[in-house]
C-alpha cells in the first residue's frame, strides 16, 4: 500500500507559494507549534508569526509565515497566510539592518501605536532571520561539529 | 468651400489624437498583462478561502455566537462601489454605477432604510454625488498597483462599521472579469456572512478549533473580508484596463477611417483644382487661335 501523503497548499495574496504532497507539516499556531501527519483529524487553527516546517522524505524545507489561518480536512492542509516568504526571497542584509533600526528605535520615546507597529516589525525580522539560518535541513545525517 | 488648408489641418489633428489613443492602447495592454497575472494569483487564494469558510459554516453548531453572522434588523446598508479614477475606458464606469444605482434604489424604494455608499474611485463618486446619494467614504479607485494593504484599510473600515452598528448589511459592487471583452457587474453580500444553519449538511465535518471556534472566526472573518475586497479590486482593475484597451483600439480604428475619408476628400479637391486650372488654360489657348 502506498504511504499516505499530505497535500499542502500555501496561498497568500501575492501568489500560491506551495502546492505539493508532503509527509509532515509543523506550523506555528498562536497556541504553540502544531504537527500535522497524514490522517489528522479535521482542525482549523490560527497561525502566528513563525517558521513553517515542511518535511518531505529526508528533507525539511522552511518558510516564514506571518499570520493567517490553517485548515486540515481529508489530508489536505490549506494555509492561507497574510504573507509568507521562502528563505531565498529574504534579503537578509536588509532584514538585519531593519532589526538594528528597530532596536535603536526602542530606546526612543514613542507613542503606543508606534511601539505596537515596531513590535510587529521586530517579530517579522526575527522570523526572517531564523528561517534564513536553516533554509533546508537534511534529517538523516545530523551535522557533527 | 471648406478649403484644402482646413482639411489638411483636420487630418493633422485627427492624426495626433490617433497617436495618443494608440499609445493609451499599448500602455493599457501592458498594464493589463501585469494586472491579469496578479489576478491569476489571487484567485486560488480566494477559492481556497471560500472552501475553508464553507467547511466551517457547515460544521459550526448554531449556538456558537459569531460577531459577523448575526442577522439583525436591517436599518443601514453599506455599499462598496468599485469604479475607476480616470475615464476613456468605454462603458466600464457607467455600467457598474448604473447596476449599483438600480440595486440601491430597489433596496431603498419603499422603506426608510438608509444607504451608505463607500465610493472607491472618482468616477463612481461623481456619479452618486450628482444623484444626491449618501456617500460616507471615498478613496481612489483600484488600479493595477493596488496593494493588499489598500484592501485591508477598507476591510477594517467595514468590519468596524458592522460591529458598531453603523451598517447592518454590507454589499460590494464590482466588475467581474471573464474575458477581455466580457465584464459582468457583480453584487456580493459581504456581511453578515451567510451561515447555512437552515440547511444541515449531509455529513458535517467534525471540526476542532485551535484555540476555539469563536476566536478562530474572529480571526478568519476579517481575513475573509480583506481577501474578498482585494479580489474584487483586482477584478475591477483588470476590467478597467481591458475596457480601456478595447475602447482605445476601436477609437484608433475610427480615427484611421476618418483620416482615410478626409484624405480622399482632400485629394478630390486637389484633383478638382488641377482640372479646373487645365480647363482654364486650354480655354484660354483656344480663345487665342
Check which CATH number belongs to the domain holding B96 and give it.
Answer: 3.40.1380.10
B46 to chain A, closest Cα gap in Å: 9
Nearest to B108 by CA among B130, B137, B84, B128: B128
**Active site residue: B89, B118, B167, B173, which one?**
B89
Q: What's the average pLDDT block by block, 10 residues per block, for chain A (145 residues)?
A: 81 87 92 91 90 89 90 90 88 88 82 84 87 71 53
Contact between residue A113 and residue A34 where contact means Cβ atoms under 8 Å apart: no
CATH architecture under which domain A6-87+134-138 falls: Sandwich (2.60)
How far is residue B40's CA from residue B212's CA, in Å, rounded to a whole number?
A: 33
Is the Cβ pair A78, B48 closer than 8 Å?
yes
Domain region containing B164: 27-245
Report the number of distinct structural domains present in chain B: 1
Q: pTM score, two decimals?
A: 0.83
Residues of A in contact with B55 (CB under 8 A): 42, 44, 71, 73
Q: How far is CA A123 from CA A2, A26, B83, in A?
A: 41, 19, 37
Q: Quick check: bond before B211 cis, omega within 30? A: yes
pLDDT digits 0-9 by tens, B197-256: 544 555 566 778 877 877 888 888 888 888 889 989 998 999 999 999 999 999 999 999
Q: Quick check: bond before A33 cis, omega within 30? A: no
Half-sphere exposure of B4 (CA within 13 A, CB side): 10
pLDDT class for B76, splitting at 50, 70, 90?
Answer: confident
Q: How far is CA B233 from CA B26, B67, B126, B187, B230, in A?
A: 22, 25, 19, 13, 5
How far is residue B227's CA from residue B44's CA, in Å, rounded to a whole number?
A: 11
Residues of B in contact with A18 (CB under 8 A): none
Residues of B in contact with A80 (CB under 8 A): 45, 48-49, 52, 223, 227
Strands A24-29 and A6-11, bridge-based pairing: unpaired
Report yes or no on B260 lying in a domain. Answer: no
DSSP string covering chain B, please?
---HHHHHHHHHHHHHHHHHHHHHHHHHHHHHHHHHHHHHHHHHHHHHHHHHHHHHHHH--TTS--TTT------EEEEEEE--SS--STTHHHHHHHHHHHHHHHHHSSS--EEEEEEESHHHHHHHHHTT--EEEEEPPP-TT--HHHHHHHHHHHHHHHHTTS-SEEEEEEEEESSSS-EEEEEEEEESPP---SS--SS----EEES-HHHHHHHHHHHHHHHHHHHHHHHHHHHHHHHHHHHHHHHHHHHHHHHHHHHHHHHHHHHHHHHHHHHHHHHHHHHH-
Nearest to B31 by CA among B146, B165, B202, B119: B146
- Residue B166: predicted pLDDT: 85
Report yes or no on B281 lying in a domain. Answer: no
Say whether residue B42 is in contact with chain A using an 8 A CB cutoff: yes
pLDDT-above-90 percentage for chain B: 34
pLDDT digits 0-9 by tens, B98-151: 999 988 888 876 666 778 889 999 998 999 899 888 888 888 888 878 888 888
Strands A6-11 and A76-81, bridge-based pairing: parallel
Nearest to B66 by CA among B200, B217, B220, B223: B217
- Known catalytic residue at B239: no
- Residue B195: predicted pLDDT: 57
Amino acid at each position: 500500500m502506498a504511504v499516505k501523503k499530505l497535500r499542502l497548499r500555501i496561498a497568500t495574496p501575492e501568489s500560491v507559494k506551495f502546492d505539493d504532497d508532503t509527509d509532515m507539516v509543523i506550523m506555528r499556531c498562536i497556541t504553540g507549534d502544531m504537527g500535522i501527519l497524514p490522517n489528522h483529524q479535521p482542525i482549523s487553527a490560527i497561525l502566528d508569526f513563525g517558521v513553517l516546517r515542511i518535511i518531505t522524505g529526508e528533507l525539511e524545507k522552511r518558510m516564514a509565515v506571518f499570520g493567517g489561518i490553517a485548515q486540515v480536512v481529508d489530508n489536505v492542509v490549506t494555509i492561507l497566510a497574510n504573507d509568507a516568504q521562502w528563505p531565498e526571497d529574504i534579503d537578509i542584509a536588509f532584514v538585519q539592518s531593519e532589526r538594528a533600526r528597530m532596536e535603536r528605535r526602542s530606546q526612543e520615546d514613542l507613542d503606543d501605536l508606534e511601539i505596537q507597529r515596531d513590535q510587529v516589525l521586530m517579530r517579522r525580522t526575527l522570523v526572517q532571520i531564523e528561517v534564513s539560518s536553516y533554509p533546508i535541513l537534511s534529517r538523516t545525517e545530523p551535522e557533527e561539529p | 468651400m471648406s478649403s484644402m488648408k482646413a482639411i489638411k489641418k483636420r487630418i493633422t489633428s485627427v492624426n495626433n489624437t490617433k497617436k495618443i489613443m494608440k499609445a493609451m492602447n499599448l500602455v493599457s495592454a501592458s498594464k493589463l498583462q501585469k494586472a491579469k497575472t496578479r489576478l491569476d494569483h489571487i484567485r486560488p487564494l480566494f477559492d481556497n478561502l471560500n472552501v475553508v469558510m464553507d467547511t466551517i459554516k457547515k460544521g459550526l453548531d448554531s449556538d456558537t455566537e459569531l460577531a459577523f453572522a448575526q442577522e439583525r434588523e436591517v436599518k443601514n446598508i453599506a455599499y462598496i462601489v468599485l469604479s475607476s479614477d480616470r475615464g476613456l475606458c468605454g462603458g466600464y464606469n457607467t455600467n457598474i454605477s448604473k447596476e449599483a444605482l438600480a440595486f440601491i434604489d430597489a433596496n431603498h424604494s419603499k422603506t426608510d432604510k438608509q444607504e451608505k455608499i463607500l465610493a472607491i474611485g472618482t468616477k463612481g463618486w461623481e456619479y452618486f454625488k450628482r444623484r444626491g446619494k449618501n456617500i460616507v467614504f471615498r478613496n481612489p479607485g483600484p488600479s493595477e498597483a493596488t496593494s493588499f494593504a489598500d484592501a485591508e484599510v477598507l476591510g477594517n473600515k467595514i468590519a468596524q462599521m458592522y460591529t458598531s452598528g453603523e451598517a447592518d448589511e454590507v454589499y460590494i459592487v464590482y466588475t467581474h472579469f471573464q474575458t477581455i471583452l466580457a465584464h459582468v457587474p457583480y453584487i456580493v453580500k459581504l456581511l453578515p456572512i451567510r451561515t447555512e444553519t437552515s440547511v444541515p449538511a449531509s455529513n458535517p465535518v467534525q471540526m476542532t478549533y485551535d484555540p476555539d471556534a469563536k476566536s478562530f472566526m474572529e480571526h478568519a472573518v476579517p481575513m475573509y473580508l480583506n481577501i474578498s475586497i482585494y479580489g474584487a479590486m483586482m477584478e475591477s482593475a483588470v476590467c478597467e484596463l481591458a475596457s480601456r484597451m478595447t475602447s482605445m483600439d476601436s477609437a484608433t480604428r475610427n480615427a484611421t477611417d476618418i483620416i482615410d475619408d478626409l484624405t480622399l476628400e482632400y485629394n478630390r479637391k486637389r484633383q478638382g483644382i488641377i482640372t479646373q486650372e487645365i480647363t482654364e488654360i486650354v480655354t484660354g489657348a483656344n480663345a487665342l487661335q
